[in-house]
Amino acid sequence: MGVGELSKRIILGRKLRSSQLGETLLPKRIALPVFASDALSSVAYAPDEVFIMLSVAGVSAYAFSWKIGIAVALVMLTVVASYRQNVHAYPSGGGDYEVATVNLGQTAGVTVASALLVDYVLTVAVSVSSGVQNAASAVSFIDGHETEWACALVALLAALNLRGVRESGAAFAIPTYGFMIAVIGMAAYAAWQGATGDLPDVESARLHIEPAPGYGGDISQIALIFLLARAFSSGCAALTGVEAISNGVPAFRKPKSKNAATTLLLLGAIAITMLLSIIVLARNMGLKYVDPKDLERLREPDGSALPHGFDQHTVIAQIGKAVFADFPPGFYFLVAMTGIILILAANTAFNGFPVLGSILARDGFAPRQLGSRGDRLAYSNGILFLAALAIVLILAFKAEPTRLIQLYIVGVFVSFNLSQLGMIRHWTRHLKTETRAAERRRMYRSRAINGFGLAMTASVFVVVLLTKFLAGAWIAILAMVVFFAIMKGIRGHYDRVAEELVVGDEDPIMPTRVHAIVLVSKMHKPTMRALAFAKATRPNVLEAVYVGFDQDSTDQLLEEWDQRHIDIPLKVLYSPYREIIRPIVQYAVEIREANPRGVVAVYIPEYVVGKWWEQLLHNQTALRLKGRLLFTPGVMVTSVPYQLRGSELGKEREDWELQRLRPGDVRRGRVGR
């Protein structure tokens, strides 16, 4: 095993056979942290965005925070109920893409796919950036280097996922459950403090918020509605990741649909509980929270500016510090689990993106490489592609979640809407043929759920589009359009290739003649082997070709050729400009044009070195020549390798040559020596 292979095995683990795919399927206790970590972790930053939006109008607007939280929870419940219908109807793992394609057509399916791909990339970028920002507030050496740490963590997540879904899921389960325990435990402890009258204030409760320009005093009804709509759309970031379970149904253990639906229900209940708990606690504990770029709007109680270098901690960190003031380990556990879960939330995308990519590759909308499983039965190319795109986004936006969040959730609500519309069409179509009363009642109920879900998600999508378009959502929409065009172009290419490769009546016709040419650079063993091999193929015409640009070398080769009595004619192509590739290509084209129904077979002698660095010491003329000839119609290229002794194959060749029979060996009794 070489150094490269050994390193790969250390990182990825031992290879898995295709028959071991069933061993990688997930039970519900592992599937929940694998597929729901994104939606669960969003409660760590969705409340921040709600309070940031409301702070524009000052502290008075915080009175609407719990109402916005309930509205977000209602939308989440609706989406969860709708997707429970999806996983039962389409358990193959296509999720929204399959639903839209089957019921609304190819264009709708590709639209959903482009939206999901963009959303998955943003999920990784937002989750990791938010986790690093949280960690930076507690760990000094991360502060100021968030971008570098975020990129390194994305690479680490990719490496973990390359080891396989089950193995990465087991590694991520502990911090995900730890985050649930930390947040719910904090909420329960705070509720007990509130019941006894000891609920403390957060560290920012003493501060004052200056309203943003234009929002001071009594604002108009329209401005207030627009402000609440922006806060609601930011809070809907908590819905991201819900669709991942419908895309990952094949990864569940049997019964797949039932287990996926149960996991969805658990996800909805836990996420809503944590989200509402944080929003209510923040409101009751006097939180003051503004956009990190507008910290000058935060003032001391006397109206003076905050000290230079003031650090505004996240909402969940402020609540945890106050609630666990008498129990520091509880606070540090909360902060640690929050930072970890925000980073691991990207794992949802690392499981959803590769599966969707493999389905798109199967349908011809993505490169075929995305459909290949790696050594650990994971879709390795999809994992690497997602990591690369996420790192590009993190670098472009300097790992700032507040800037990235504006691009977020647009794509996921596009898929929500088309998926619900597709499910309505699905139930309507099946109702036309279903005759059993009980089954019809179930279908009517499912269609009503999907219809209500469509109404809710469509309304939210309009709000998100209106409030976030100029703030950065247009970038996400543009990215979706680009993905859509690329996927359509890829499908068009595959369709053209398939059409051209269909066997026709004229295809079996044999060529009228084969004109073989063996390229000669000098008289050595690779040349002699290529000549022997070409002669064994019995072409109609066989000749050797040498490109000469030095008269002395040419004369020496011709003299040696005659001395060896080689019965194959040698043709010299003179190259005044010392080119090698162009004269050969032109000569092959001339032969082809002289006999259009024939083929030209070009034999290229090559010798194989033993080590990779030795390859750098030799020119790559053969490789470049093959690249040119491959695009020349009617020309077939054959490499004739000669393994040098430095390579393992060369040693095997040498042993074989020593052991092979020669004339007279049987008579002399040398057989078997």
Q: What is the rounded CA–CA span in Å between residue 320 and residue 125?
A: 25
CB 334 within 8 A of CB 316: yes
Q: What percentage of residues in the chain have a pLDDT greater than 70?
A: 85
Rg, the chain, Cα only: 34
pLDDT tens per residue, range 209-264? 888 776 766 667 777 888 888 788 778 877 777 777 777 787 788 888 888 888 88
Whether the pLDDT of residue 51 is over 50: the answer is: yes
Whether the pLDDT of residue 619 is over 80: the answer is: no
Q: What is the rounded CA–CA span in Å between residue 339 and residue 341?
A: 6
Q: How many whole angstroms from its chain centre is CA 577?
A: 48
pLDDT tens per residue, range 124-182? 888 788 778 777 766 777 777 788 888 998 988 888 878 765 555 566 688 888 999 99
pLDDT tens per residue, range 442-462? 899 889 988 888 888 888 888
Q: What is the rounded CA–CA span in Å between residue 654 and residue 673?
A: 16
Whether the pLDDT of residue 574 is over 60: the answer is: yes
| More confident position, 527 or 659 | 527
CB atoms within 10 A of CB 502: 7
Q: What is the rounded CA–CA span in Å between residue 49 and residue 405?
A: 9
Q: Which fold has domain 26-302+312-496?
A: Amino acid/polyamine transporter I (1.20.1740)
Listed by start position, the domains of the chain span 26-302+312-496, 514-668
Q: Is this model's pTM higher than 0.95 or not?
A: no
CA dihedral sign, ordered 245, 248, 250, 253: negative
DSSP 252: B
pLDDT band at residue 12 using 50, 70 and 90 as cut-offs: low
Q: What is the rounded CA–CA span in Å between residue 333 and residue 154?
A: 23
Whether the pLDDT of residue 626 is over 90: the answer is: no
Task: Say if 26-302+312-496 and 514-668 have the same CATH topology.
Answer: no
Instruction: Using alpha carbons, select from 371, 353, 395, 345 the residue that is nearest to residue 483.
Output: 353
Average pLDDT of the chain is: 82
Whether the pLDDT of residue 40 is over 90: the answer is: no
Decide: helix, strand or coil at residue 606: strand
CB 323 within 8 A of CB 186: yes
Instruction: Using alpha carbons, select from 596, 587, 607 the residue that is nearest to residue 517.
Output: 587
Whether the pLDDT of residue 22 is over 80: the answer is: no
pLDDT tens per residue, range 260-304? 888 889 988 998 999 999 999 999 999 998 887 788 888 888 878
What pLDDT shows up at residue 673?
44
What pLDDT shows up at residue 193?
92
What architecture (CATH level 2) is domain 514-668? 3-Layer(aba) Sandwich (3.40)
Only one residue has tokens 């089954």, namely 439
Whether the pLDDT of residue 646 is over 50: the answer is: yes
Burial of 82 (0-12, 13-18, 19+ CB in 10 A): buried
Q: What is the rounded CA–CA span in Å between residue 210 and residue 56?
A: 8
